[in-house]
């Protein structure tokens, strides 16, 4: 029954407890609108009421501004000073609801809730954690600078390489064009013989039957004749008969047969390019032996990046532009690819050599691969300063009680049962998906393995600043929608100086 | 996430989103239903032996004889207090006792005297006491007609479909079980049957198979059946649970409505298939009278409905009327049950409210829930771990959306062992519960009745060692397959089992539980994944009885025992809150029910209204549907509309399947978060009204969520409405349940009524179809002129936080400028209201005076709440407002918003209550 006077008493006590005189719940910045004794105008200007209706536990203003210290207005807010910590606004519905929201306990002035003032403790903890975070941020930010530098260098290199590759491609195209003319000329006299031979072969194999990308080639006597170094008796004239002899007594051999031939001639064979002749040539068989690793790289084009340290050292050397043989090897390299491209299992099939356009296409596509790979890498959005570039081609794992999770940034996320079982894709690289003001804080991986009656698996990766690059946690908040937390220096922001970290200290 | 449980996959891979009908029996596949339905009307073999009649003050008994087989039945007829007639029919001398359903009636119903009015060779006329009601017992064939004046209210066996399969010895001594299936007229059998007419041995009498399941039927056929004719009736309702319209349909061209508690995966809408619960109560209504039939039988039951006007067009009916050639409209219903006895309560109304009271007098009223249970519930299969729970809890605060309960589904347990917690994901449940309690919120954890067979599991070991499991037909513990894998099913029909179960909820037994942890009983049909029709074998045994006898009762017992446990753990102080999926007549006494595993489809949103209305009509007021839909993922629009609808249905819980994407209210953009927030907040402002309605339901048995015809029984326009409903009698809700709706047409009932749009306060006349344009934020709700509704406008983060907040009274004036309402206040969670610790006042507005009177002078309760505001709808601006109170008199203020046709009269009073 004494509720009302009690409340008033508390009100006055409450007000006097705050250093600066103002109605309960009013932030310092709005003090001037609440002038004791003068009529109060709602902050939206909608109404003016006597001052004794401010904080009288009845809502008069549409905007709730007359009740900053009570729960009377549904849309009001209450300001806690929280001396020792950060000031805060809480919805006025949390005033006197029995739950301590303000660390200075000021929101629970009449609920009987036993709130403890925890502001100092919170402030201390926050400062500690801020300090810790600042340290991490500081170191992380330094690391980030390094990453940015490295990325810059890497990018330049790549761009240079891209240009080079493009140039050499152009050279090669010219060369191929020249070769083609020569070849066509050389082939002309052989045409009839070829056709005869073709008929003989047609019973068994048909080049056209094989997929268009399959490389078919024959080596003919005419072609061999262009290699005088293969002259059997070294008499200076490499005769047709001699050449025929090399080919085992026929005019023309297919890939398989040529292998046997090759072992006989390889010691003498001089690459056309090296010989600095414009003589037309078919592929040196030797190169096919080296092709295994390259076949792999066809399946995983990303791996075919010159920067890739371990696997591709050889290629790096091969492609070293300072090497005088660069062009040669490049050419063989590209033709080699032609040979053992998609059709490497078909090597033993005798076929016609659809050299011209198809070979050209394959050369092109190989260069496309190379240029595409570089272009693709360059095209990734590695952040404003390419600071995320170092994550490219890397993978990070986290092992939980049941699964091993693997995050390969800009590529894919997967999950594998710890104790056997197949890997499940949790998504492939989709996009940066942070909020507009911080797009590079979240990565989205999409279109993973489908779920039964559900969506395809997808993963959201939240990036936080850390010295280490590491996956710190994974979870599945919703079925088949994974959440991964990942620390990296690349998201570290320049730490503000500690002085500017407490802009709100004004109310201390 | 680990792969989906293998069995679940097997169950689900049927692929489409419709129920696999092949898993469930049609009447034709249910041997007794087929046999009974094959009987033709008009050939009743039953004759009343009037010479056996005995009439005492309270009951009449009479023998009936089946002239075909000479088997005698005993008819008992009682007049019960409150205008109810009870008719019981059993075998006069059954081979063994037949099951009579216990524990559903709250007591042996008190009787009233019967008196003999007249008697001759053809029959007997008895007076039923009140209102010149008589019952006429006709002898040949046996028939009962209940009359009032010259009107026949209801006739029993008028179509001669009374059937009673008497218990019998198996004749073939099981030498050749196939023999009996072969034919019907085995000559040897004929010879043995002597003078009695040959008992036909039909398929499925002694054994029945469905799919791969065999029902051994050791006691043979035992079905019962009886028909009821309802002259003048075109509308019948009730017999939940079915996913169908409010008004029941005739079943002539399809299966009867089936009552058999089943776990139906992805149920289909608008058909009579059985679902999770069964309440064998039907209401019949016309403009003059409402009556009810309560068929107290817990076995599998089928209900046929036919009507002589069904299929007639309005024009056809008119023609009949004009030509005077019409027979009176009539609805005939017929009940068929597999076993037990005929025990039927005929509730004679005459008003809908009378029928509710009559039914309540038999089976009790809605449990009065804790106030918080009427608030918003956030559920999902599953909140993954404690951290998840905490972040969802924080999400509500962050987005300023109130909620009271967060729910944990089966994954919270240690390997689906109920009463336990996953040691990794929920390692410190008390810490979690304390965190929730600190926010004045609560939690529900699931406890299902299937118990993992695991010798390292305490609950299992205790049940096994006490012999509490249901037994299979061979006497061993029945085992079926459910969530935990192999599981046993405790025999909840045993009082000692229930007592033991209840004791498991004690804080020292249920480790990790606290007083803010409540319970959800799912799968209590019972669901047996590898059983016939996904439930238990009918030949499993509960002591002397077969599962077939008690099936529909099992779920009720589970909830009963669980609720008892919750009461006991607090020493009888705190009200329980238990949600159940399976239910029976009387389940209203133990808590809430929901409509099971619905789907995120617009039609499922729509059907939630008739499904809950039907439950309300048969006593179960605390009903809701999974907001958002359980299976599948709702569109944002559907989700918002579902929140808006659910906010105005009694049990308001969002729930979602494990395989669906997250759908906490803030995940759909700020605009939709705001829409959902608004819907939930509307619920919270109205909690005082909901609470008062539940108090009323607890007291009187009136449904909380009501079809319009209940309040406007003489207005035929209301009889089939099920896209809108009333809460209590004063709020009319027509939720938007159409995709892309631009408007809804609501029928506002009552010739002399006016209705106020609760958002705009605009006044509309009754007895009209009103088109209401809608936007995404619209929830069309109207307050009846003449009513006073209390609200709390200070919505806080949970209902408990609002306990001491003031009320705003919304006074909506009728054309006579009067209004009336009530306000009920108590502590919100204990049984102290039984000790008169509450405030219950009638509020009245008349002659420009708002006043209140104490409805219960003995009641004592003090509240810190007050009335802060009175909003009067339909008044003009007064020149002066004064306030008088008995003790304190505080100040009052008045403001009037001239833009609106209402007066916002503000009264600021510290202690009016």
What residues in chain A have their Cβ under 8 A from chain B's Cβ atoms? 1, 3-4, 57-58, 71-72, 74, 91, 93-94, 97-99, 401-402, 451-455, 475-481
Query: Which one, of B726, B735, B746, B723, lies nearest residue B776 by Cα?
Result: B735
* Residue B874: per-residue pLDDT: 87
Contact A425, A405 (CB under 8 A): no
The confidence band for A293, taking pLDDT boundaries of 50, 70 and 90, is very low
- Both tokens of residue B313? 């067009």
Mean pLDDT of all residues belonging to chain A: 72
| Chain B residues near residue A94 by CB distance under 8 angstroms | 796-797
Nearest chain B residue to A97 by CA: give it: B801
Instruction: Give B874 or B543, the one with higher predicted confidence.
Output: B543
Token pair 């849309």: residue = A75
| Chain A residues near residue B9 by CB distance under 8 angstroms | 452
Contact B233, B329 (CB under 8 A): yes
- Per-residue pLDDT of A70-101, as tens digits, reads 999 999 999 999 999 999 999 999 999 999 99
Chain B nearest CA to A332, separation (Å): 50
Q: In this structure, is residue A86 part of a structural domain?
A: yes
CA distance B751 to B693: 25
CA distance A508 to A84: 6
CA distance A76 to A60: 11
Q: Which of A63, A86, A116 is the C-terminal boundary of a domain?
A: A116
CA distance A423 to A414: 7
A328-337, B372-381, B491-500 — which is least confidently predicted?
A: A328-337
CA distance B717 to B747: 8
Q: Between chains, do A97 and B797 touch, taking CB under 8 Å as contact?
A: yes
Q: Which of A89, A116, A143 is the C-terminal boundary of a domain?
A: A116
- Out of A74, A402, A479, whose CB is closest to B794? A74
Token pair 């293998």: residue = B6
Chain B nearest CA to A335, separation (Å): 48
Nearest chain A residue to B862 by CA: give it: A1
Contact A448, A476 (CB under 8 A): no
Q: Between chains, do B1 and A99 touch, taking CB under 8 Å as contact?
A: no
3-state secondary structure A385-443: CCCCHHHCCCCEEEECCCEEEEEECCCEEEEEECCCCCCEEEEEEEEECCCHHHHHHEE
Query: Which one, of A306, A166, A7, lies nearest residue B890 by Cα?
Result: A7
Task: State what percent of residues in chain B have pLDDT above 70.
Answer: 89
Nearest chain B residue to A60 by CA: give it: B895
Q: In this structure, is residue A334 part of a structural domain?
A: no
| Chain A residues near residue B658 by CB distance under 8 angstroms | 479
Q: Between chains, do A4 and B910 touch, taking CB under 8 Å as contact?
A: yes
Chain B nearest CA to A291, separation (Å): 41
- Residue B669 parent element (H or E): helix B669-685
Contacts of B842 (CB under 8 A, 6+ apart): B820, B821, B822, B852, B853, B855
| Chain B residues near residue A1 by CB distance under 8 angstroms | 887-888, 911
Nearest chain B residue to A111 by CA: give it: B804
Q: Between chains, do B400 and A452 touch, taking CB under 8 Å as contact?
A: no
Kindly state the average pLDDT of the residues B657-669: 94
Q: CATH class for domain B27-166+205-363? A: mainly beta
Mutate one of B399, B796, B890 to test the A interface: name it (highest A CB count within 10 A).
Answer: B796
A312-326, B78-92, B159-173, B335-349 — which is least confidently predicted?
A: A312-326
Chain A nearest CA to B661, separation (Å): 5
CA distance B887 to A399: 71
| Chain B residues near residue A480 by CB distance under 8 angstroms | 1, 659
- Residue A79 parent element (H or E): strand A77-80
Kindly state the average pLDDT of the residues B193-197: 44
**CATH 3.20.20.80 matches B371-448+494-528+553-704:** yes
Q: In this structure, is residue A366 part of a structural domain?
A: no
Q: Between chains, do A97 and B438 touch, taking CB under 8 Å as contact?
A: no
The count of C-alpha atoms lying within 13 angstroms of the C-alpha of A336, restricted to the half-sphere facing its C-beta, is 19
CA distance B667 to A478: 12
Total structural domains within chain A:
2
* Residue A222: per-residue pLDDT: 61
Say what angle helices A291-299 and A326-340 make with each other, to 10 degrees: 70
What pTM does this model have?
0.81
| Chain B residues near residue A452 by CB distance under 8 angstroms | 4, 9, 12, 659
Contact A66, A39 (CB under 8 A): no
Q: In this structure, is residue A76 part of a structural domain?
A: yes
| Chain B residues near residue A95 by CB distance under 8 angstroms | none
Q: Which domain holds residue A25?
A: 20-116
What residues in chain B have their Cβ under 8 A from chain A's Cβ atoms? 1-2, 4, 9, 12, 384, 388, 400, 424, 438-440, 658-662, 793-797, 800-802, 805, 864, 868-869, 887-888, 890, 893, 906, 908, 910-911
CA distance B755 to B782: 6
Query: Rg of chain B's alpha carbons, rounded to an integer?
Result: 28
| Chain A residues near residue B864 by CB distance under 8 angstroms | 3
Residue B100: pLDDT over 80: yes
Q: Between chains, do A1 and B9 touch, taking CB under 8 Å as contact?
A: no
- Out of A58, A97, A99, whose CB is closest to B908? A58
CA A91 to chain centre: 42
Q: In this structure, is residue A238 part of a structural domain?
A: yes
Q: In this structure, is residue A300 part of a structural domain?
A: no
The confidence band for A496, taking pLDDT boundaries of 50, 70 and 90, is confident
Nearest chain B residue to A94 by CA: give it: B796
Kindly state the average pLDDT of the residues A144-165: 85
Number of Cβ atoms within 10 Å of the Cβ of B37:
19
Q: In this structure, is residue A402 part of a structural domain?
A: no
The count of C-alpha atoms lying within 13 angstroms of the C-alpha of A207, restricted to the half-sphere facing its C-beta, is 18
Residue A219: pLDDT over 90: no
Nearest chain A residue to B803 by CA: give it: A97
Chain A nearest CA to B439, separation (Å): 6
Q: Between chains, do B659 and A477 touch, taking CB under 8 Å as contact?
A: no
The confidence band for A346, taking pLDDT boundaries of 50, 70 and 90, is very low
Q: What is the set of active-site residues of B?
A: 522, 597
Q: Which of A267, A287, A307 is the C-terminal boundary of a domain?
A: A267
State the sign of the Cα–Cα–Cα–Cα dihedral A237, A242, A246, A247: positive
Size of interface A-B (CB pairs under 8 A): 76
Nearest chain A residue to B439 by CA: give it: A99
Q: In this structure, is residue A432 part of a structural domain?
A: no
Chain A nearest CA to B804, separation (Å): 9
- Both tokens of residue A252? 């023309």
- Out of B660, B794, B908, whose CB is closest to A479? B660
CA distance B28 to A146: 79
Token pair 């493009």: residue = A166
* Residue A362: per-residue pLDDT: 58
Collapse the DSSP code of B46 into the 3-class scheme (helix H, G, I; strand E, B; otherwise coil) and give the result. strand
Token pair 């009821």: residue = B228
Query: Which one, of B753, B781, B778, B782, lies nearest residue B765 by Cα?
Result: B753
Kindly state the average pLDDT of the residues A124-139: 90
**Does the interface predicted TM-score (ipTM) exceed 0.95?**
no
Q: Where are the domains of chain B?
A: 27-166+205-363, 371-448+494-528+553-704
CA distance A166 to B308: 89
Kindly state the average pLDDT of the residues B355-360: 98
| Chain A residues near residue B661 by CB distance under 8 angstroms | 454-455, 478-479, 481
Beta bridge partners of A485: A462, A473
Q: Between chains, do A98 and B659 touch, taking CB under 8 Å as contact?
A: no
- Out of B438, B797, B800, whose CB is closest to A93? B797
The confidence band for B326, taking pLDDT boundaries of 50, 70 and 90, is low
- Out of B661, B797, B800, whose CB is closest to A481? B661
Instruction: Give A308 or B697, the one with higher predicted confidence.
Output: B697
3-state helix, strand and coil shares in percent for chain B, rounded to the nearest 5:
25, 25, 50
| Chain B residues near residue A101 by CB distance under 8 angstroms | none
């Amino acid at each position: 029954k004494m509720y009302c006077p009690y409340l008033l008493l508390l009100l006055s006590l409450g007000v006097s407890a705050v250093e600066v005189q103002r109605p309960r719940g009013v932030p310092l910045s709005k003090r001037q609108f609440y002038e004791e004794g003068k009529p109060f105008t709602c902050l939206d200007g909608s109404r003016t009421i006597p001052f004794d209706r401010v904080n009288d536990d009845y809502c008069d203003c549409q905007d709730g501004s007359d009740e900053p210290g009570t729960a009377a207005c549904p849309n009001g807010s209450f300001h806690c000073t929280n001396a020792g910590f950060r000031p805060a606004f809480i919805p006025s519905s949390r005033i006197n609801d029995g739950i301590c929201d303000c660390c200075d306990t000021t929101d629970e002035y009449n609920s009987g809730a036993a709130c403890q003032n925890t502001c100092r403790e919170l402030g201390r903890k926050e400062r500690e954690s801020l300090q810790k975070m600042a340290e991490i941020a500081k170191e992380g930010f330094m690391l980030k600078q390094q990453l940015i530098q490295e990325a810059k260098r890497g990018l330049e290199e790549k761009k240079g390489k891209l240009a080079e590759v493009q140039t050499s491609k152009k050279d090669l195209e010219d060369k191929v064009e020249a070769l083609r003319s020569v070849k066509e000329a050389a082939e002309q006299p052989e045409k009839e013989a070829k056709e005869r031979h073709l008929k003989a072969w047609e019973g068994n194999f048909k080049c056209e039957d094989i997929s268009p990308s399959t490389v078919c080639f024959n080596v003919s006597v005419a072609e061999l004749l262009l290699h005088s170094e293969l002259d059997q008796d070294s008499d200076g004239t490499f005769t047709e008969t001699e050449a025929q002899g090399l080919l085992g007594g026929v005019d023309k051999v297919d890939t398989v047969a040529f292998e046997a031939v090759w072992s006989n001639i390889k010691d003498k064979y001089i690459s056309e390019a090296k010989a600095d002749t414009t003589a037309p040539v078919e592929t040196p068989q030797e190169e096919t032996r080296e092709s295994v690793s390259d076949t792999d790289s066809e399946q995983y084009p990303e791996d075919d990046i010159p920067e890739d340290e371990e696997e591709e050292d050889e290629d790096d050397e091969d492609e070293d532009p300072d090497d005088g043989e660069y062009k040669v090897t490049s050419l063989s390299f590209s033709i080699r690819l032609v040979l053992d491209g998609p059709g490497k299992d078909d090597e033993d099939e005798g076929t016609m050599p659809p050299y011209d356009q198809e070979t050209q296409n394959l050369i092109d596509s190989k260069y496309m691969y190379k240029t595409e790979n570089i272009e693709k890498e360059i095209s990734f959005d590695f952040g404003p300063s390419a600071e995320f570039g170092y994550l490219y081609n890397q993978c990070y794992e986290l092992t939980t009680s049941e699964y091993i999770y693997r995050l390969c940034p800009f590529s894919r996320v997967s999950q594998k049962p710890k104790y056997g079982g197949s890997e499940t894709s949790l998504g492939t690289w989709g996009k940066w998906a942070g909020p507009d003001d911080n797009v590079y804080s979240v990565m989205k991986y999409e279109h993973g393995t489908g779920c039964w009656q559900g969506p395809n698996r997808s993963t959201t990766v939240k990036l936080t600043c850390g010295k280490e690059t590491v996956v710190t946690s994974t979870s599945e908040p919703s079925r088949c929608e994974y959440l991964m937390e990942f620390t990296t220096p690349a998201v570290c922001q320049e730490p503000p100086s500690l002085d500017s970290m407490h802009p709100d200290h004004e109310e201390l | 996430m680990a792969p989906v449980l293998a069995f679940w996959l097997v169950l689900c891979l049927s692929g489409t989103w419709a129920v696999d009908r092949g898993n469930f029996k049609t009447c034709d596949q249910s041997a007794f239903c087929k046999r009974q339905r094959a009987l033709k009307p008009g050939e009743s073999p039953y004759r009343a032996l009037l010479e056996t009649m005995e009439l005492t003050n309270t009951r009449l008994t009479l023998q009936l004889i089946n002239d075909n087989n000479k088997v005698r039945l005993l008819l008992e007829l009682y007049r019960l207090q409150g205008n109810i007639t009870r008719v019981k029919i059993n075998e006069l001398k059954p081979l063994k006792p037949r099951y009579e359903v216990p524990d559903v009636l709250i007591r042996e119903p008190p009787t009233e005297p019967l008196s003999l009015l007249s008697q001759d060779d053809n029959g007997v006329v008895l007076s039923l006491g009140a209102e010149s009601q008589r019952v006429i017992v006709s002898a040949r064939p046996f028939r009962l007609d209940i009359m009032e004046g010259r009107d026949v209210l209801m006739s029993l066996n008028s179509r001669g479909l009374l059937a009673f399969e008497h218990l019998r010895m198996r004749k073939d001594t099981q030498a050749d079980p196939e023999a009996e299936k072969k034919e019907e007229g085995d000559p040897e059998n004929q010879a043995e049957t002597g003078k009695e007419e040959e008992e036909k041995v039909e398929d499925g009498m002694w054994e029945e198979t469905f799919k791969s399941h065999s029902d051994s039927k050791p006691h043979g056929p035992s079905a019962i059946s009886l028909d009821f004719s309802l002259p003048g009736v075109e509308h019948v309702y009730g017999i939940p649970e079915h996913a169908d319209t409010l008004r029941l349909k005739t079943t002539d061209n399809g299966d009867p409505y089936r009552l058999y508690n089943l776990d139906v995966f992805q149920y289909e809408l608008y058909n009579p298939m059985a679902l999770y619960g069964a309440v064998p109560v039907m209401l019949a209504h016309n403009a003059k009278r409402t009556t009810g039939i309560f068929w107290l039988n817990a076995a599998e039951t089928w209900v046929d409905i036919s009507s002589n006007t069904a299929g007639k067009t309005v024009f056809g009916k008119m023609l009949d009327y004009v030509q005077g050639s019409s027979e009176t409209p009539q609805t005939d219903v017929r009940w068929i049950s597999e076993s037990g006895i005929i025990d039927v309560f005929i509730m004679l109304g005459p008003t809908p409210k009378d029928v509710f009271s009559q039914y309540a007098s038999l089976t009790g009223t809605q449990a009065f829930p804790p106030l918080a249970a009427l608030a918003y519930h956030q559920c999902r299969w599953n909140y993954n771990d404690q951290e998840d729970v905490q972040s969802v809890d924080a999400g509500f605060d962050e987005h300023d959306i109130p909620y009271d309960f967060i729910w944990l589904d089966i994954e919270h347990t240690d390997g689906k062992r109920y009463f336990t917690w996953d040691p990794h994901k929920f390692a410190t449940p008390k810490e979690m519960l304390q965190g929730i309690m600190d926010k004045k919120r609560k939690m529900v954890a699931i406890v299902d009745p299937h118990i993992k067979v695991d010798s390292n599991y305490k609950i299992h070991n205790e049940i096994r060692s006490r012999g509490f499991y249901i037994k299979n037909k061979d006497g061993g513990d029945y085992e079926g397959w459910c969530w935990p894998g192999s599981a046993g099913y405790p025999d909840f029909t045993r009082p000692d089992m229930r007592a033991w179960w209840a004791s498991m909820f004690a804080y020292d037994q249920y480790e990790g539980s606290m007083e803010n942890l409540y319970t959800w009983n799912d799968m209590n049909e019972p669901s047996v994944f590898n059983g016939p029709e996904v439930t238990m074998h009918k030949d499993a045994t509960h002591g002397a009885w077969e599962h077939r006898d008690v099936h529909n009762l099992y779920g009720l017992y589970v909830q009963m025992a669980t609720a008892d446990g919750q009461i006991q753990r607090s020493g009888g102080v705190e009200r329980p809150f238990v949600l159940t999926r399976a239910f029976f007549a009387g389940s209203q006494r133990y808590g809430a029910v929901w409509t099971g595993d619905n789907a995120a489809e617009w039609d499922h949103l729509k059907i939630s209204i008739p499904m809950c209305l039907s439950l309300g009509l048969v006593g179960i007021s605390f009903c809701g549907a999974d907001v958002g839909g359980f299976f599948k993922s709702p569109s944002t629009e559907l989700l918002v509309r579902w929140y808006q609808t659910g906010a105005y249905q009694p049990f308001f819980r969002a729930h979602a399947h494990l395989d669906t994407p997250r759908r906490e209210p803030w995940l759909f953009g700020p605009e939709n978060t705001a829409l959902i927030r608004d819907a939930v907040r509307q619920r919270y402002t109205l909690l005082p009204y909901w609470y008062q309605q539940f108090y009323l339901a607890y007291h009187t048995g009136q449904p909380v969520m009501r079809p319009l015809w209940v309040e406007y029984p003489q207005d035929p326009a209301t009889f089939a409405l099920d896209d809108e409903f009333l809460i209590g009698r004063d709020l009319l809700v027509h939720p938007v349940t159409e995709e892309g709706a631009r408007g809804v047409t609501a029928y506002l009932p009552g010739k002399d009524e006016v209705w106020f749009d609760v958002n705009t306060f605009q006044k509309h006349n009754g007895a009209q179809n009103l088109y209401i344009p809608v936007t995404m934020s619209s929830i069309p709700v109207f307050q009846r002129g003449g009513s006073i509704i209390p609200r709390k406008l200070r919505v806080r983060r949970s209902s408990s936080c609002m306990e001491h907040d003031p009320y705003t009274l919304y006074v909506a004036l009728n054309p006579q400028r009067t209004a009336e309402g009530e306000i009920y206040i108590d502590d919100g969670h204990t049984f102290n209201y039984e000790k008169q610790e509450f405030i219950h006042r009638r509020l009245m507005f008349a002659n420009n005076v708002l006043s209140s009177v104490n409805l219960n002078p003995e009641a004592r309760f003090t509240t810190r709440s007050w009335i802060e505001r009175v909003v009067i709808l339909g008044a003009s601006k007064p020149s002066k407002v004064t306030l008088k109170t008995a003790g304190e008199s505080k100040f009052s203020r008045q403001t009037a918003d001239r833009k609106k046709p209402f007066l916002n009269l503000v009264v600021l009073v510290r202690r009016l209550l």
